[in-house]
Amino acid sequence: MKQANIITRHFIKTIIRSRALAAIYLLWLLLVTYAAVTGYQVYITQDTLRQQFQHQARQSWEANPDKHPHRMAHFGTFAFRQKHPLSMFDYGMESYTGNAVFLEAHKQNTVNFSEAGFSTGLLRLGEISPAMLIQVLLPLILFFLGFDTVARQKENGTLKILLCQGAGFRSIIRGNSLGLFVVAFIFLAPVLAAVAVQLLLQHAAPGAAVLQRAAYLLLGNLFFLWIICIIAVCVSAISHNSRAALLKLLGLWLLMTIVLPKTLQAIGSAMYPAPGKIQFDAAVEKDILKIGDSHNPNDLHFKRLKDSVLRANNADSVQQLRFNYGGFQMQEGERMSSEVYNRHLQTLYDVYERQNNVSKYATFIDPLIGVKNMSMALTGTDFTAYRKFQDDAEAYRYKLAQTMNELQQKYISNTTPAKDEHPHSIGKEHWTAFADFTHDFPPVPSLLYQERLTIAAMLAWFILSFFLIHFTAAKATTL
């Protein structure tokens, strides 16, 4: 360890004196500043708009006058997805998933108004975020700074001198790796400072667990950077010269950041094809028509339901029932159609899960995929977070529709009003009594369990990095 510490200090001194580092670090600071400022502006703008529109939707709901509760069920309301404060760090899938959905009875609408829907195709090239800088650009910088750590010593004969003085290959690789990791932390420090300032400038939502999530986020990125440093130095150690080491590391960077992620996405979609929206909606509608249409008075299922209700209540007609039969029928229809929709939606989720698992298992061969998955999960910008919003919105929609049906059963008469009478209605105080839509964030333990495969792969990479040092030292000795 004494030899490794000496080599570490020498590496840091050499890198700091380099003119290239000064230029790279200045450019890095500019990129970090740009990413932090734009990320904060986007978060504040979108979060303010979503809260404002959610408030307007609530005002519109409460402003309805006295009316029939079933009309209120069809009047509906909107649900807007809340952004997690750490989404300023990692945009994840935020730009491609919707953030607002209209909630109404008997119909499950899609989540709309994604950023990609209003942008040009340039969005596919990526967005500059702090996470993108750490996970994509910083490995390239570390490869550039570390490609000649050992290879250049071979070229100028310094390596032989070190070996003659008693330094072992393990100490040389370990020392250079630690030195490169210290340089990586120097690059990481302004990002941490920028994210801290972002979080201090805004108030975290209740249940966001920002500090706990940020701690795991930092730990995951440190593991990733350590693995990158080990790879850079080990490739340099087994290469005959610095030029060969640089080419190998550039090839690895392209493979990790572009080739593998895109290829695995295509493989997952090919192995587990998902139905399109039209196909999905058609399948749902087909199954709903099979079980019955609550709005069709001649539907056989609901005719049998009506007869059974009349027999159970010893009544000859719905006018003799002590509750509004129309509300009861709508309640049953809502329950049946929701069950069909949720069954199809769960099947679709299972397909998406199998597609995503292809990339998750690939973390064992590409640590970048793992750190991205963890980063998106902890910042609330992954598909699971989007799915939770969908589930919360659907649960709220179902509760709204069934509450209106219950009000209809309780307060609306079965008799049809005469032409000169006012239509059946109830007081608007019932609208204000119904709670507004709220969307919370999943607890951290559930996120860690969700990403257990990714965590296992990252830990395996971390342990493997130490074996890689010993393996590389043994192989480099024979070169």
Q: For residues 181 and 32, what is the distance between their CA atoms, to the nearest angstrom?
A: 19
Give the pLDDT mean for 215-224: 95
Edge-to-edge strand list for the sheet holding 77-80? 77-80, 100-104, 107-108
Residue 199, H or E segment:
helix 169-200
Residue 122 pLDDT grade (very low, low, confident, very high; cuts 50, 70, 90)? very low
Residue 80 near residue 112, CB atoms below 8 Å: no
- Give the residues across from 102 on adjacent strands: 78
User: Closest Cα partner for 334 from 304, 291, 303, 300?
Assistant: 291
Contacts for 50 with CB less than 8 Å, ≥ 6 apart? 80, 81, 82, 83, 99, 100
Is 418 contained in some domain? no
Query: What DSSP designation does 365 have?
Result: T
Q: Which two tokens stand for residue 226?
A: 């350590």
Residue 214 near residue 193, CB atoms below 8 Å: no
pLDDT greater than 70 at residue 139: yes
pLDDT greater than 90 at residue 404: yes
How many percent of the chain have pLDDT more than 70?
91
Residue 118, H or E segment:
none
Q: For residues 46 and 39, what is the distance between their CA atoms, to the nearest angstrom?
A: 11
Q: For residues 416 and 424, what is the distance between their CA atoms, to the nearest angstrom?
A: 8
What is the domain count for the chain? 1
More confident residue, 4 or 470: 470
User: Closest Cα partner for 235 from 453, 465, 44, 454?
Assistant: 465
Give the pLDDT mean for 171-199: 91
Residue 61 domain boundaries: 2-413+424-478
pLDDT tens profile 385-396: 999 999 999 999
What angle (nearest 5°) sits at the alpha carbon of residue 17, between those of residues 12 and 21?
85
Is 469 contained in some domain? yes
Is 122 contained in some domain? yes
pLDDT tens profile 287-326: 888 887 777 767 788 888 888 988 999 888 888 888 888 8
Residue 418's pLDDT is what? 66
Neighbours of 433 (CB within 10 A): 11
Is 419 contained in some domain? no
Q: How far is CA 308 from the centre of its chain?
A: 48
Is 77 contained in some domain? yes
Neighbours of 462 (CB within 10 A): 16
Residue 37 near residue 208, CB atoms below 8 Å: no
Is 345 contained in some domain? yes
Residue 293's pLDDT is what? 75
More confident residue, 416 or 121: 416
Is 175 contained in some domain? yes
User: Closest Cα partner for 173 from 479, 465, 478?
Assistant: 465
Q: Which two tokens stand for residue 230?
A: 């080990």
pLDDT tens profile 405-431: 999 999 988 887 766 667 788 889 999
> Which pTM was predicted?
0.88
Is 72 contained in some domain? yes
Q: For residues 175 and 461, what is the distance between their CA atoms, to the nearest angstrom?
A: 19
Give the pLDDT mean for 276-283: 88
